[in-house]
């Protein structure tokens, strides 16, 4: 069996190295590909390493089976997918091989020389190096082989940490880079594209923050425990920098890489005295134990926090200045890979001017530390950084917009709405673009709905009307763009996501979704505010639309197609299918019918539905929006919906529903009071 994504055919996957990270990489592939019968072969030269790697993978699968994370059949299939061996010949025929051996350049060169001979001419050869430039790793290979090489840098723990840095070399074919970025997104990772500088983009932040923490201890700002605690709180880290070093076993690599960074990045980087002493002793860092309280004075906490923030912002800014990564990818990569607050959003929060002052103070006290030009330039504008969450990539004359907020399943907030509107205006006036595709990032969700915190911030009916009108702007722009707009529903589309999709000329959806589309607003005690009460009845009929809107019932992908809401399910790459449909529509070879913009007939009273625990007050407003609003032209009905959304914001039930969702999540039913 095999797996195909776009032009990439995966028949077998190889992992070289059964040490700390290789088995975890293999386990991730087994989770991703076991249903497709793709074998995953882990090779190591040492029998004991093979045995330990096999035992590690089996233990994690068993733990997943016991916890319910893996169904028994899936766990069995994952075990059957994995092979651990010392026989390199079993890598023959592999389509993708990840080298995960020790961080030693000469060993890596030998491995790839062997793989180039063993694997076929189509195999992609990748290294999981954490620091070494692709040109150094793959430089000894012939030109044709270098075209299909790249660094694919995983982060600890590799089977669960979603981030991978994709680092092509100078000779890597762009098509292979694009294929790898798409493949990793499709199988559930968050890939970011990085240039081949030593350490890439994220490790200089991780190791630089460790260095800053070690220097803070050396400078007398606190003990290891105190600095670890203060840094964790200041930076929003899951664990402090010293604790992270213990967990990852990172001392040897960090000790070496910090010294290399001195010449390759800037002279501030070096392995500090504290690290040298730790390496000599072989002991772990003396970090806070579980539930141990480490007390700091307010002044001590402020001093440590300021020095760590100055270092953090400076490190992130220098990486952006280097040009190896975009701001959007760096922001996402650091937040995902290091489980900490993203740097540029944090600078916006405290003020970019204040962030610049912290960096300048840190640089003044630490020779060789740069003050990034990007921070200084942004501070001079007096405006915050613009952090892209809607990413545009052009496929010839078709622009593809991707909503990318994976942490919240691409939920909509003011930033998303504003950026979508900006893109719509730019695309309307772009003569090189004939059509548009809108999609979401990852395999799970097109858009999971509006960010509930965004809804919770509404304080009055008037603000509710304004919010509803603002949320309609991008959809209205796309609906009247004058060019075909196709929604590629890569996963579920709930609430505002489905409302955005309905503004498009047509919708395609990933095949096999049991829960695909829905308007769950009634469960939160709110009226849909971005057009659902007007567009859904025009697309699927008043009776079905009213039931879905009033009860929050969802449709599967097949049901969505049968209802007329979605044009077709796509078994494979839904974005590619949407691009084809968009281009064909733009060229006149395919005809599509947009949403009817005139009034439609509605009954004086809607058919009864079972409301259960749902708010009768909210239901009355939703029903009015459908019955009265759909009798108006679409534009007037949309405005009427906004007014009723505002009226909903005056009800107790909206507050109850939204707060219940924030506190308890979607599975706990709100206790509405029907007023």
Do 308 and 235 touch, CB atoms closer than 8 A? yes
Active-site residue list: 499, 521
DSSP state of 402: E
Say if residue 157's pLDDT is above 80: yes
What is residue 13's predicted lDDT score, i.e. its pLDDT? 97
Say if residue 534's pLDDT is above 90: yes
Average pLDDT over residues 315-329: 98
* CB-count burial class (<10 Å; 0-12, 13-18, 19+) for 431: exposed
What is residue 248's predicted lDDT score, i.e. its pLDDT? 85
Residue 157 to residue 406: CA distance in whole angstroms: 18
CA atoms within 13 A on the CB side of 133: 14
Average pLDDT over residues 176-199: 96
What is residue 593's predicted lDDT score, i.e. its pLDDT? 87
Sequence-distant (≥ 6) Cβ neighbours of residue 63 within 8 angstroms: none
Mutual angle of helices 352-365 and 298-322, in 10-degree steps: 100
What is residue 386's predicted lDDT score, i.e. its pLDDT? 97
What is residue 303's predicted lDDT score, i.e. its pLDDT? 97
pLDDT by residue (tens digit) across 421-456? 999 999 999 999 999 999 999 999 999 998 888 788
Yes or no: domain 3-193 corresponds to CATH 3.40.50.1370: no
CA distances from 552 to 62, 230, 524, 610, 629 (A): 37, 45, 10, 11, 19
pLDDT by residue (tens digit) across 96-152? 999 999 999 999 999 999 999 999 899 999 999 999 999 999 999 999 999 999 999
Residue 530 to residue 456: CA distance in whole angstroms: 16
Say if residue 250's pLDDT is above 90: no
Do 625 and 640 touch, CB atoms closer than 8 A? yes
Question: Band of the pLDDT at 459, cuts 50, 70, 90?
Answer: confident
Do 61 and 40 touch, CB atoms closer than 8 A? no
Pick the CATH number of 203-381 from 1.10.1040.50, 3.20.20.70, 1.10.8.60, 3.40.50.10420: 1.10.1040.50
pLDDT by residue (tens digit) across 12-44? 999 999 998 999 999 999 999 999 999 999 999
CA distances from 4 to 110, 178, 434, 608 (A): 30, 14, 29, 47
Percent residues over pLDDT 70 in the chain = 100
The domain segmentation of the chain, as residue ranges, is 3-193, 203-381, 390-664
What is residue 454's predicted lDDT score, i.e. its pLDDT? 77
Place of tokens 């000599």: 280
DSSP state of 670: P
pLDDT by residue (tens digit) across 606-620? 999 999 999 999 999
Question: Band of the pLDDT at 537, cuts 50, 70, 90?
Answer: very high
CA atoms within 13 A on the CB side of 284: 14
Pairing state between β 13-16 and 40-43: parallel
Residue 214 to residue 275: CA distance in whole angstroms: 8
Pairing state between β 390-395 and 398-403: antiparallel
Rounding to the nearest 10 degrees, give the CA dihedral for residues 617, 620, 624, 625.
60
Q: For residue 287, give the nearest of 252, 253, 240 by alpha carbon.
A: 240
Give the mean pLDDT of the chain.
Answer: 95
Rounding to the nearest 10 degrees, give the CA dihedral for residues 402, 403, 409, 414.
180
DSSP state of 518: E
Percent residues over pLDDT 90 in the chain = 92
524-557 in b/e form (b: 16+ CB < 10 A) is: bbbbbbbbbbbbbbbbbebebbbbbbbbbebbbb
What region, left, alpha or beta, does residue 237 occupy, with left being phi > 0 and alpha being psi -120 to 50 degrees? beta
* DSSP letter for each residue of 439-492: EESSSSEEE--B-HHHHHT--SHHHHHHHHHHHHHHHHHHHTSSS-EEEEE-SE
Residue 475 to residue 481: CA distance in whole angstroms: 10
pLDDT by residue (tens digit) across 485-495? 999 999 999 99
Question: Band of the pLDDT at 290, cuts 50, 70, 90?
Answer: confident
Element (H, E) at 493: strand 492-494
Sequence-distant (≥ 6) Cβ neighbours of residue 661 within 8 angstroms: 452, 523, 524, 670
What is residue 458's predicted lDDT score, i.e. its pLDDT? 86
| Cα of 538 vs its chain's centroid, Å | 33
Say if residue 299's pLDDT is above 90: yes
Say if residue 1's pLDDT is above 80: no
Residue 468 to residue 663: CA distance in whole angstroms: 24
Tokens coding 117: 């001979």
Query: CATH for 390-664?
Result: 3.90.226.10
Pairing state between β 96-99 and 568-570: unpaired
pLDDT by residue (tens digit) across 635-658? 999 999 999 999 999 999 999 998
Do 444 and 403 touch, CB atoms closer than 8 A? no
pLDDT by residue (tens digit) across 2-11? 898 888 899 9
Average pLDDT over residues 340-357: 97
Residue 592 to residue 578: CA distance in whole angstroms: 13
Do 485 and 515 touch, CB atoms closer than 8 A? no
């Amino acid at each position: 069996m095999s797996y195909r994504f776009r032009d990439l055919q995966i028949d077998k996957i190889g992992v070289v190295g059964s040490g700390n990270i290789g088995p975890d990489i293999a386990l991730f592939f087994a989770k991703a590909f076991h249903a497709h019968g793709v074998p995953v072969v882990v090779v190591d030269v040492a029998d004991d390493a093979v045995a330990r790697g096999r035992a590690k993978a089996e233990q994690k699968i068993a733990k997943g089976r016991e916890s319910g994370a893996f169904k028994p059949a899936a766990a069995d299939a994952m075990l059957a997918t994995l092979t651990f061996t010392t026989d390199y010949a079993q890598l023959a025929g592999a389509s993708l091989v990840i080298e995960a051996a020790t961080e030693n350049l000469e060993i890596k060169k030998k491995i790839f020389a062997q793989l180039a001979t063993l694997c076929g001419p189509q195999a992609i050869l990748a290294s999981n190096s954490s620091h070494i430039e692709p040109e150094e790793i793959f430089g000894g290979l012939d030109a044709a082989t270098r075209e299909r090489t790249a660094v694919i840098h995983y982060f600890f723990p590799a089977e669960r940490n979603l981030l991978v840095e994709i680092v092509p070399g100078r000779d890597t074919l762009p098509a292979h880079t694009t294929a790898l970025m798409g493949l990793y997104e499709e199988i559930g990772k968050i890939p970011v594209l990085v240039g081949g500088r030593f350490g890439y983009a994220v490790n200089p932040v991780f190791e630089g923050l460790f260095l800053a923490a070690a220097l803070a201890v050396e400078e007398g700002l606190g003990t290891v425990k105190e600095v670890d605690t203060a840094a964790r709180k200041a930076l929003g880290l899951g664990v402090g920098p010293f604790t992270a070093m213990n967990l990852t076993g990172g001392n040897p690599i960090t000790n070496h890489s910090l010294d290399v960074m001195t010449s390759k990045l800037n002279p501030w980087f070096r392995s500090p005295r504290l690290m040298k002493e730790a390496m000599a002793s072989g002991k772990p860092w003396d970090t806070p134990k579980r539930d141990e309280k480490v007390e700091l004075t307010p002044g001590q906490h402020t001093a440590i926090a300021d020095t760590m923030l100055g270092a953090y912002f400076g490190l992130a800014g220098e990486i952006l200045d280097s040009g190896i990564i975009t701001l959007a990818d760096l922001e996402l990569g650091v937040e995902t890979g290091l489980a900490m607050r993203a740097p540029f959003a944090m600078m916006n929060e405290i003020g970019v001017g204040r962030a610049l002052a912290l960096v300048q103070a840190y640089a003044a006290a630490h020779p060789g530390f740069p003050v990034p030009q990007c921070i200084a330039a942004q501070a001079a504008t007096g405006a915050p950084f613009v952090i892209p969450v809607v990413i545009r990539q052009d496929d010839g004359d078709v622009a593809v917009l991707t909503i990318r907020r994976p942490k919240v399943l691409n939920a909509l907030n003011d930033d998303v709405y504003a950026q979508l509107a900006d893109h719509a205006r730019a695309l309307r006036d772009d003569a090189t673009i004939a059509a548009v595709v809108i999609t979401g990032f990852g395999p799970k969700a097109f858009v999971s709905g509006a960010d509930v915190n965004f809804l919770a911030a509404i304080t009055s009916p008037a603000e509710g009307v304004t919010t509803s009108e603002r949320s309609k702007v991008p959809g209205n722009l796309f609906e009247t763009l004058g060019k075909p707009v196709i929604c590629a529903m890569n996963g579920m589309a709930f609430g505002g996501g489905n409302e955005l999709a309905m503004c498009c000329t047509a919708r395609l959806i990933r095949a096999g979704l049991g829960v695909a589309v829905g308007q769950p607003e009634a469960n939160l005690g709110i009226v849909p505010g971005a057009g659902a009460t007007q567009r859904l009845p025009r697309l699927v009929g008043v009776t079905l639309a009213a039931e879905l809107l009033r009860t929050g019932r969802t449709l599967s992908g097949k049901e969505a197609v049968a209802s007329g809401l979605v044009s077709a399910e796509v078994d494979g790459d839904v974005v590619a299918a949407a691009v084809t449909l968009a281009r064909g529509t733009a060229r006149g070879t395919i005809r599509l019918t947009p949403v009817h913009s005139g009034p439609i007939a509605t009954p004086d009273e809607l058919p009864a539905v079972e409301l259960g625990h749902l708010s009768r007050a909210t239901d009355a407003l939703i029903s009015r929006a459908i019955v009265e609003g759909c009798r108006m032209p679409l534009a007037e009905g949309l405005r009427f919906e906004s007014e009723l959304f505002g009226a909903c914001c005056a009800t107790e039930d909206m507050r109850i529903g939204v707060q219940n969702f924030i506190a308890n999540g979607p599975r706990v039913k709100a206790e509405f009071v029907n007023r």
